[in-house]
Amino acid sequence: MAKNDDGWLDKISYPIPDLGKSGICRVFNLIFLLLFISVEVAFSSNTYAQNTVLSISAEKKSIAEVLDVIENKSDFHFFYNSKLVNVDRKVTFEVNNKDVFTILEILFKNTNIAYRVVDKDIILTASAASKGEKQQANRRITGVIKDVTGEPVIGANVVLKGDNGTGTITDINGQYSLEVPQNAILIISYIGYTPVEIPVKDQSEINVTLKEDSQAIEEVVVVGYGTQKKVNLVGAVAAVNVDEKITSRSLSNVSTGLSGLIPGLQVSQTTSMAGNDNASLMIRGMGTVNNTSPLIVVDGMPDVDINRINMADVESISVLKDAASASIYGSRAANGVILITTRTGKKGKTSINFTGSYAIEKPSRSYDFMDDYPRALTLHQFRAASGTKRESYNFKDGTIDQWMALGMIDPLRYPNTDWFDAFMRTGTLQNYTLSATGGNDKSNFYISIGMMDKEGIQMKNDFKRYNTRFNYDYNMFNNVKVGARVDGNWSEFTYSGFADGITNNDTSDSGGGDMQYAVAGITPYDPVTGRYGGVMAYGEDIQAYNPYAFFDSRNPKQTRQQLNGSLFLDWEVFKGFTAHVDYALSFSNYFQKRADMPTDAAYDFQTGQNLGRYYVADNVGVSDNNTTNYKTQLNGRLQYETTIAKNHHIGAMFVYSEEYWHTRSTGASRNDRIHPSTSEINAALTNVQSNSGSSASEGLRSYIGRLNYSAYDKYLLEFSFRLDGSSKFVKGHQYGFFPTVAVGWRFTEEEFLKKYLSSWLSSGKLRASWGKLGDNSGVNRFEQLETLTAMNYMSSDVVKGFVNKKMINKDLSWEVSTDINVGLDLGFLDNRLRTEIDFYNRLRTGMNRPSQMSIHLTGAYSAPRANIGDLLNRGLELNLTWKDKIGNVEYSINLNGAYNRTVLKEWNEFLSRGWIYLDMPYHFLYVYENNGIAQTWEDIYNNTPQSLSPGDVIRKDLNGDGIIDGKDKKAYPNIQRDRPTTTYGITLQAAWKGFDISMLFNGGLGRKDFWLTDFNQTKINDRRYASTWDHWTEPWSLENRNGAWPRLGSDTDRSDNNFWLYNMNYLRMKNIMLGYNLPQKLLSKISMTNLRIYVSAENLFTVTQYPGLDPEKKNSTRDLYPINRSFSIGLNVSF
């Protein structure tokens, strides 16, 4: 319970509806009312032409004047080429209450003008000749004009070369028809595209793909609160071509699809567990010891879960990496920003699109465990040689001989179980999306429904998600536009209990969600089959347990519902000056139920007796946990752009923003269900029960400004600031001011340099930025308040009361990130080769962590958080792209790489962990050096005294003081344990006559770590652990002194000696895809505009020396759920 003395949060939360009242319902009712009204307006235009009647009187007026009258009296708009269509001819006529078809027939009677009505758009074209004119054409040419993405080009000019009076324009489908004379040459052109000349010859159908004119249309990149031309960017911003590199892949979430595509964005997927397979994202290294994740912004709404987005809805992704580009998003942008823009409607007829894919999945890597007989024999030999052979500790005499003699045919006595395989299955992944898009001059819309169904490769692990989205824009007036963005998702996640962990005796130890911990605790001569919670391994007197039965008894299920909605209004007050306001609301609910099934006691197959341990039928509980979150955001923005003296462009923006979060959690549980079939809490006994509940709120208020200036398109300047106020801090420290400045110079535009550079350098830009960003993510929501904790006071009676258990640090303030970025963009050979190089220096100061101060006060105060550490990141990023064409083959090659080093610069507390040292990487290696394996006792005596035996690893006495201690450890300052220092990606793409192929590789360098599982060492004296072949078949022994591994039973320095270090460098084929787009000639016959089929594979192979499941794994002592290898087939259809 907390007291808000300042009332700061109350002041910021005024636009927020009360969750417990009907406010949310009213807001969303308003949203949907506006949406349905707007949809009705959009679709009603389909019948507008038939239902609209006009009265027109014209006397000696030109056709152009009549067309203006029709437009003024209706919502119709005319499109025509004045060079091809004669609209100067005078006409006289009068009509009363006639539809537009009748009027046009009268207007164009006995002329060569043809028309086509599409919704409220009327396209005028010139036919070959009027009936009264001389017929010169002897052939009709038809075709379709598209752009490089396959979209039809509406209104493209198709004219005869040398005859400006003969030609036509394409219709709404990009189609044209034109009669031409012999030996004609067609010129196809459209604004922003390179004109094309084509000799007709003997062709009757000519289809053309227009390419963008690089001089006319420049690449636009989505940045904070708008877009910018890429040539004018001065910050470190990277964009992903979603349609080319992500959309057609069979993926369960967006985050995993970004791997290997952007330099400086580290994507680590350490598990493929269905429903929990999202990757962790990190931009430019470890920014802080607290939350290192970047801010995710979707359609202007921050803090969105990137893994709940339907991939098919995504139109563009931009990554803001430096302070100058990310500062506009303030306190949560210190770790970088990922901007996602979803698809919106396009002007034209309604288009229906379907995308679908089906994939099968298997583990990309697995363990090779020893079979039952070799393991039993090895264990028996070790115990006999070590003198530990006891009837209560060993296989009984003759058991192994009998095992071999019987041929290992009894599945209960000799099961030879592969426990890894027992938990695995063939998984599937299905993705389907149905969408529609369309619009006209007044409005446009995009609507979609999607479904994703993933059956995990692990037993009882499944995930389903349903998505829906509706984006709508409506032009209320010429200078006012309103719109809405609404999306929702529902998901269900089931898992078998790995996330709760398991030990040999109970379930109190957390296994961290790892597969390894389950399979490590059982041997191959323990059977899977049977209904028992535990088994007695045949031939041994040591009790084992059955993890398969244990996990099969568990059935946790989590459901989640989320709804996001926003409304916005854009008003162009006057030319160049616009005002914008938007309000967004996000609501989510998580519910988890767990109702375990009963499991019988362990059973001894040898004696036929229950062992009376493990779960029993009358002690199985049920629990419910529910969390509700909602967030609101209100933004107001003023923006002005102008150009002075043609060459000086100025842009200014001011934003006011308020955000508010609230979360509420409740939980309850009971043991001893009355009957296993019941799953409700009130169907369990009350003798053992518990409940919990909590709530928290947070507010953020911001004032934002940005100023852009460019002169002669050569000299670029950008300044921005953000004043953020957070409710997490005490009064006086709530606000932080964070400015940035960036400059750029397009030096290839300088006349005095062109004569030296133009022959080999197509474009060049030098850019630099400096800025500060604040971060409050590591601070608890009520850190600034004294908190009261409920406690019992014991005297003669138990009395419930509250006690203050937390001290306040009134000096706690923002973490501050100071960034410097210097970049160089170069284009060679007509920009076929492009290079982007960035160097950055990021210093995070005032990192807040729980203080380690000792407190000896009545009431057991907990120490407050404090700003105690500084962290430095330095790095280099490189991006190379080559695009070219050889004949009909278009191809591209992209290479990107990033180097990052993270160093701890300051820590104003006692450094209690052995891997934290100043001026060293935050996670670095500090281990003993090995001096090989001791072959004899003499080897041991000749080295520094150590408690060793022949066959053990010898540690080096590095400082030569005759003592082996921590002073003999060696540091590896350029090697990190938790992640690679260098990451890279390679993308290869090619296309030919509708076929396309792409390959994506990613990898990492500069990392070493231990493979610290429970079964990969030579610790064979403990029977509990399963064993891998590679560590058990070549141990050192007196007969095999050249063994690769220490003696059986040696357990020295498993996590403290470089003997056990593995190089975790890797190269992974992340994706390979082959696709085919059917030609337009065939599609037009079946009323389709696009049909693409493809096959794809994910995680096809990995090249690495690391023997575990995945070299991308986080710094951990166990291997997690393996990464999937998948094979998929997909289909994209539009009509």
pLDDT per residue as tens digits for the range 655-678: 999 999 999 999 998 887 777 777
Give me the DSSP letters along 66-86: HHHHHHHHSS-EEE--TTTS-
Instruction: Mention every residue, 6+ apart, whose C-beta is less than 8 A from residue 752.
Output: none
Does residue 30 have a pLDDT over 50? no
The percent of residues in the chain predicted with pLDDT above 70, rounded, is 76
Please write the tens of the pLDDT for every residue from 1104-1119: 988 888 888 765 545 6
Calculate mean pLDDT across residues 606-619: 50
> Of 268-282, 513-527, 637-651, which one has max mean pLDDT?
637-651
Domains and CATH numbers, the chain: 52-127 (3.55.50.30), 130-217 (2.60.40.1120), 237-347 (2.170.130.10)
Between these two residues, 33 and 85, which has the higher pLDDT value? Answer: 85
The whole-number pLDDT of residue 800 equals 66
Please write the tens of the pLDDT for every residue from 419-457: 778 888 899 999 999 999 988 888 999 999 999 999 988
The whole-number pLDDT of residue 413 equals 62
Work out the angle at residue 474's Cα, subtended by the Cα atoms of residues 468 and 477, and round it to the nearest 5 degrees. Answer: 170
The whole-number pLDDT of residue 840 equals 96
Question: Which residue, among 257, 264, 225, 223, has the nearest Cα to 241 in the 3D structure?
Answer: 257
1051 band by pLDDT with thresholds 50, 70 and 90: low
Give me the DSSP letters along 976-1040: ESSS-SEEEEEEEEEEETTEEEEEEEEEEESBEEE---SSSSS-TT-TTS--BHHHHSSB--SS-
The radius of gyration of the chain from alpha carbons, rounded to an integer in Å, stands at 35
Torsion angle defined by CA atoms of residues 169, 172, 175 and 179, in that order, rounded to the nearest 10 degrees = -40
Between these two residues, 417 and 131, which has the higher pLDDT value? Answer: 417
Quick count: other Cβ atoms within 10 Å of Cβ 719?
Answer: 17
Does residue 210 have a pLDDT over 80? yes
Average pLDDT, the chain: 79
Beta-bridged to residue 920, according to DSSP, are 904
Please write the tens of the pLDDT for every residue from 125-148: 876 444 334 344 457 888 999 887
Residue 255 in contact with residue 283, Cβ under 8 Å?
Answer: no
Please write the tens of the pLDDT for every residue from 536-553: 433 343 445 566 766 777
Between these two residues, 562 and 943, which has the higher pLDDT value? Answer: 562
Quick count: other Cβ atoms within 10 Å of Cβ 1040?
Answer: 12
Amino acid at 1091: L
Beta-bridged to residue 842, according to DSSP, are 819, 873
The whole-number pLDDT of residue 594 equals 82
497 band by pLDDT with thresholds 50, 70 and 90: low
CA distances from 288 to 285, 784, 848 (A): 9, 21, 9
Does residue 163 have a pLDDT over 70? no
The whole-number pLDDT of residue 165 equals 57
Work out the angle at residue 514's Cα, subtended by the Cα atoms of residues 509 and 515, and round it to the nearest 5 degrees. Answer: 115
Does residue 563 have a pLDDT over 90? yes
Between these two residues, 152 and 427, which has the higher pLDDT value? Answer: 427
Lowest-confidence region among 35-39, 644-648, 812-816, 889-893 = 35-39
The whole-number pLDDT of residue 491 equals 93
The whole-number pLDDT of residue 615 equals 41
- Rounded-to-integer distance, Cα 531 and Cα 605, Å: 13
- Rounded-to-integer distance, Cα 986 and Cα 750, Å: 34
861 band by pLDDT with thresholds 50, 70 and 90: low
Instruction: List, in sequence order, the alpha helices (H) in 8-95.
Output: 8-12, 23-44, 48-51, 63-73
Q: Are strands 427-439 and 833-850 parallel, antiparallel or unpaired?
A: unpaired
